[in-house]
A and B are shown apart, each in its own frame.
Chain A
Amino acid sequence: MSIQLERRKAVQTDEVAGYERMLEIREFENQINGLFAAGLIRGTTHLCLGQEALDIALAAELRPTDTVMATYRGHGIALALGLTPESVLGEIMGKTIGCCGGVGGSMHLADMTLGLLPTSAIVGGGIPIAAGAGLAYQLLGQDNVGVAVFGDGATNIGAFHEGLNLAAIWKLPVIFICDNNVYGEYSRIDKTTPLEDLHMRADSYKMAHYAVDGMDVHATRKGIKEAVDRARSGGGPTLIEAKTYRFAGHSRADKALYRPEGELEKWMERDPIKLTEEDLVKRGLLDSAKIEKMRADMTKTIEGVVATCQAAPDPTVASMFENVFTK
């Protein structure tokens, strides 16, 4: 089994490994934030700090043969699904060891052995594509599931409505997961959308829909499992709204000064990593000494990943001419 699939299996079978992966995502995002700030990585990046529970829940409930179409805020999903930190950071740094050989960058991460299509940098662009994955599964008689993960802002773009409608009329095995992190780029969702519970929009497509506490791994897993079971058994699509919060700004340029005072602090009381820790400690699966050691080890691990990726070779000029066409 490849190291990627082993990493995937770990979060599917071991809750402590799932917690450790959340730490990995958190540490990864914090360290690359520093690298961008220091000018050591070019371009832009979109951090998923605060949304780690959804990433882990998805990885735990989906099979590697299911297809995930996610977004430019995708480092966490990629790591959760099983991509190695080297292949994700290598890609973010544009190196050959990156999961796309360095031609993609932070916004385009992929590994089809884990079911991750190249993440889309177009808001809503992946929603009909996930429906199409479900269409292929329906045509070919496979019991896989297509999954679209997108933000709250995407529920206002046509692709969302067209993708949901199509999946509903054709009863496609698809799960639409709206990661409602309260902000679409720099705008609070209540300024752009006359609806608090975004999952209600599925009502107009007669599609199953509900919200889950996106800060809580168990609640999110339960919601995803219900949708996966429905999709695999021919019951059609589901829209799940995971209520989360974006701890960072939209992208590296955004300091999120528009947030109401106290809002971030209030959400951080329900930091998914903190909630998971409390749960695992309460159930005797972790204690504070172990947690401290895991955190310290993870910092070192990611520091090692950064060093590896910084030392990795750049792609050859010839490589950028490859893969435009199949032949």
Chain B
Amino acid sequence: MAAMQFRQAIVNALADEMRSDPTVMLFGEDVAEAEGPFKTSEGLLAEFGPVRVRDTPISEMGFTGAAVGAAILGAKPVVEIMFIEFLGVALDQVVTEAAKMRYLSNGKLSVPMVVRASCGSGLGFGSQHSQTLENWFTATPGLKLIMLSDAQAAYSLTRAAIQDPDPVVILEPRILYAKRGEVDKNLKIEIGKARVLRDGTDITIVTSGQMVDVCRAAIEESGVNAALIDLATIIPWDRVTVLNSVKKTGRLVVVEEAPLSGGWGSEIVAATTSALFSELKAAPFRITSPDIPVPYSGPLETRYIPTKDDVARQLKEVIATGKTPKTWWEMEGLK
């Protein structure tokens, strides 16, 4: 075990994979000489040299597409997208090329590429640099999607993604980069497996990314005996772990950083409701951000994403009343 920052866990995962597999390479904007805008490639150029660690032009479509081709032909490329928003111009390569290659080749080709991107709100970067955007990918069979929540997940899941033979998108909540956590380098986390972070009897909380810490604090504040599940892999998500937990607790809330409409949490609520309807003590529900762009102003952005206080209120309310709590913006007449 070693304590390190979330970003250092990513550096360690990249370095350890590059040491063990000479076909692993990293490229993206300012990842080489500048060692990454968030210092997630510190020391990699020095250790692995300019053939394997490369700065690219500001050309997400070009270099993400190059990763697709390189992955098919024997490299294991990791590309860094500075902000997940910048992947918008390269979605074709991820959704329509990489995720289809295996299928269209009738199983003859693999695309072992990883797309890493920083995401999320909380740092005052404004509407175009603060989204999580994981829901762009949820209807793309052939693609795996991970959202990191702490240093251990960052280390273990980044390594698992690089070793995976299929294309994987990893979202890194940028508010976590400086956060420290314990990392056991021998601990493996499988893609597609949720992490049960806390057992509980009264309600199951399914969440991911920076919302994991918010939920942990909300459990403490509310005193509710909640099970806390970090979904970790959003596609394909771990039905077994989620359903087993809800069978025990009889209640489910999914907490997402993204806006209300079209979120992956709806899928989990729907699947759980269908499978366990007669065993539920309350209607499964979601806590999300409102359907508005991420605002810039500090006080507004702080209110925008689910807060510890609001999650705690809703946990207590659903257990006390059995009814789905209102959103804070409904209560304040703001919808």
The complex places the Cα of A269 from the Cα of B165 at a distance, in Å, of 50
Q: Which of B69, B71, B104, B166 contacts A131 (CB 8 A)?
A: B69
Q: Which of B67, B73, B92 contacts A122 (CB 8 A)?
A: B92
The complex places the Cα of A135 from the Cα of B73 at a distance, in Å, of 9
Are B62 and A67 touching (Cβ within 8 A)? Answer: no
The complex places the Cα of A104 from the Cα of B77 at a distance, in Å, of 26
Stretch with Cβ within 8 A of B (4 or more), from A26-34, A157-165, A234-242, A306-314: A157-165
Are B62 and A128 touching (Cβ within 8 A)? Answer: yes
Kindly supply a per-residue 1/0 record for chain B positions 45-82, scoring 1 wherever the CB is within 8 Å of any chain A CB and 0 otherwise: 00000011010110101111111111111110100000
Q: Which of B63, B72, B142 contacts A325 (CB 8 A)?
A: B142
Q: Which of B57, B104, B107, B110 contacts A169 (CB 8 A)?
A: B57
The size of the chain B interface, using a CB distance under 8 A, is 46
Q: Which of A112, A129, A161 contacts B66 (CB 8 A)?
A: A129
B189 interface residue, CB < 8 Å from A? Answer: no
Chain B residue nearest to A115 (CB atoms) is B73
Are B73 and A125 touching (Cβ within 8 A)? Answer: no
Are A163 and B106 touching (Cβ within 8 A)? Answer: no
B141 interface residue, CB < 8 Å from A? Answer: yes
Chain B residue nearest to A127 (CB atoms) is B65
Knowing A112-B109, A118-B100 are in contact, say whether A133-B59 is a contact too (CB < 8 A): no
Chain A residue nearest to B25 (CB atoms) is A139
Are B103 and A165 touching (Cβ within 8 A)? Answer: no
CB distance from A102 to the nearest CB of B (A): 9
Are A135 and B69 touching (Cβ within 8 A)? Answer: yes
Are B93 and A128 touching (Cβ within 8 A)? Answer: yes
Are B68 and A326 touching (Cβ within 8 A)? Answer: no
The complex places the Cα of A169 from the Cα of B68 at a distance, in Å, of 18
Within 8 A of B (CB), among A170-195: 170
B105 interface residue, CB < 8 Å from A? Answer: yes
B261 interface residue, CB < 8 Å from A? Answer: no
Are A69 and B104 touching (Cβ within 8 A)? Answer: no
Question: For residue A110, which residues in chain B have a CB less than 8 angstroms away from its CB?
Answer: 104-106, 108-109
The complex places the Cα of A101 from the Cα of B107 at a distance, in Å, of 10
Q: Which of A129, A137, A139, A325 contacts B52 (CB 8 A)?
A: A139
Are B75 and A69 touching (Cβ within 8 A)? Answer: no
Are B103 and A324 touching (Cβ within 8 A)? Answer: yes
Are A122 and B97 touching (Cβ within 8 A)? Answer: yes
B102 interface residue, CB < 8 Å from A? Answer: yes
A120 interface residue, CB < 8 Å from B? Answer: yes
- Shortest 9 CB-CB distances between A and B: which pairs? A132-B69, A128-B65, A162-B62, A132-B66, A136-B73, A323-B107, A129-B69, A118-B104, A162-B59
A-B contact pairs, 29 of them (CB 8 A): A100-B106, A101-B106, A103-B106, A117-B105, A118-B101, A118-B104, A118-B109, A122-B96, A125-B96, A127-B65, A128-B65, A129-B65, A129-B72, A129-B93, A131-B65, A134-B69, A135-B70, A135-B75, A140-B74, A146-B73, A158-B61, A162-B59, A163-B65, A322-B107, A323-B102, A323-B103, A324-B142, A325-B102, A326-B166
Taking A137-B73, A326-B166, A327-B165 as known contacts, 14 extra A-B pairs with beta carbons closer than 8 A to each other, sorted by chain A number, are A67-B72, A117-B105, A117-B109, A118-B104, A128-B63, A133-B69, A133-B70, A139-B25, A140-B23, A158-B89, A161-B62, A162-B61, A163-B62, A170-B54
